[in-house]
Amino acid sequence: MIHAMLLAASANLGSTKAAQTVTTLTTSAGSYIMGLGATGGGLMIGYHALMRNLSGGDQQADAHHLQSIKKVAVGTALVVGAGGIAHFVGGIF
């Protein structure tokens, strides 16, 4: 019953100016998060790849930068996913 009430209320709520503003804000924030997250992650991966190539064959430095590349790739995927979710939620309403 509560679900039906929320669905009935959401039809009227989405047509207000405040709801449209929140939708635009959420969609824009999701887009910025995805864009900045992907750009920052790409730059960090590039940095660690460059440092790994310039390490001179030091095994510890190579291992450190390879581990950092993996961590940055996972973090970037999480940030871009969160931005995608925010963008999607903003587009629902």
Q: Which domain holds residue 60?
A: 21-92
User: What's the domain count of the chain?
Assistant: 1
What pLDDT score was predicted for residue 89?
A: 85
Specify whether the backbone of 58 is left (phi greater than 0), alpha (psi in -120 to 50) or beta. beta
The two three-digit tokens of residue 25, written as one number: 């804000």
Residue 14 belongs to a domain? no
Q: pLDDT tens digit string along 46-69?
A: 999 999 999 988 999 999 999 999
SS (H, E, C) the chain: CHHHHHHHHHHHHCCCHHHHHHHHHHHHHHHHHHHHHHHHHHHHHHHHHHHHHCCCCCHHHHHHHHHHHHHHHHHHHHHHHHHHHHHHHHHHC
Residue 47 belongs to a domain? yes
Q: pLDDT tens digit string along 2-33?
A: 555 555 555 555 677 887 888 888 889 999 99
Q: What is the pTM of this model?
A: 0.75
